[in-house]
Structure 1
Amino acid sequence: MYTDYEVMCKTNIPAFKLRHSIVRRRYSDFEAFRDILERESTRVNIPSLPGKVFTNRFSDEVIESRREGLERFVTIVAGHPLLQTGSKVLCAFLQDPAWDKSQWL
């Protein structure tokens, strides 16, 4: 069992292929995405993700708390001008329903 999160992207930034997209991502996808961003963007301080949860991870409170933390993470990352123009993985993670972390590792 796992939880996945809906990532909705609405943008007018030219670097993004789509103006509106919705994809679903697991927490492990966010971890891989963050690692890839850190490797490709050495000049940018990538924010941390909400911590791993080992108990009650399927409770509504835990899921909502993690969702809020992931939303903060995505908002910061997607709003960073250097990542908007310099990251190869940003647009794919936020918009490609077939995104696969193994393509980037």
Structure 2
Amino acid sequence: MDKMRHNLSICQTEFISICVRDPRLHKDDLWHTHVDYEICIHTNSMCFRKKTSCVRRRYSEFVWLRHCLEQNALIMELPKLPPWNPFFSIKNTEQVFQRMKGFQEFLESVLYMPLLLSDSRLHLFLQSDLSITKMERCAIGKTRYTVAEAIQRSSSGYISRQENKASCDSDCESSSSSGFGLSVDTHVRVSPIPFLES
């Protein structure tokens, strides 16, 4: 009985804290901009290679991730992303907050699904700074580096994020380069599952 109580205690203390914050505007060319967001993770879960990490991702990358996870989820119903908005503007604080909240809820739900935690594309999305093309190639073993190496080599982090260029989302029509200090922060409890590279 004491052993069982001890094992339960270990499971209950495992956590994943995920935070979506700091929207930034990127100017792609004269007419196009996009917004990206910082995703920070702090965890003691054995599912993750890094216990703390920060990366920046844009709306189109979230769409890609959801599509990838859909292939893995089979009959499970995946959470929805916040809707695409052609009139999205970084100047509209309510739109920005709702977008970040939607991303936050999506990631929280995904992290509650043990099957999805074994998908290497999810880990590359959350803890590497690879592009979509490189994440796809890395996940199927067509790069010189493994998933673990890509995550460990990621240059994004609490210090290097200060040096990142200003960024924003694929819906963004705004030309402002200032970011908001908005964030949505939660703790997700998960059961320990080994990290697998697909």
TM range (shorter): 0.7 to 0.9
Gaps of 5+ in 2: 1-32, 138-198
Say which is worse superposed, 21-30 or 75-84, in terms of deviation: 75-84
Partners of 1:5 and 1:24 within 8 A in 2: yes
Structure 2 match to 1:97: 129
Aligned equivalent of 1:69, options 102, 109, 128: 102
Matched residue count:
103
Structure 2 match to 1:33: 65
Q: Which has the higher strand share?
A: 2
Mapped to 2, the partners of 1:87 and 1:20 lie a distance apart of 19
Which structure's relative contact order is higher, taking Cα pairs within 8 Å and 6+ residues apart? Answer: 2
Mapped to 2, the partners of 1:79 and 1:94 lie a distance apart of 15
TM-score where L is the length of structure 1:
0.88
Q: Which has the higher helix share?
A: 1
Mapped to 2, the partners of 1:60 and 1:42 lie a distance apart of 36
Query: Alpha carbon RMSD of aligned pairs, Å?
Result: 1.6
Of structures 1 and 2, the larger Rg is shown by: 2
Mapped to 2, the partners of 1:14 and 1:57 lie a distance apart of 38
| Cα deviation digits, residues 50-89 of structure 1 (max 9, x gap) | 00011143222211110000001011112221212x3121
TM-score where L is the length of structure 2:
0.49
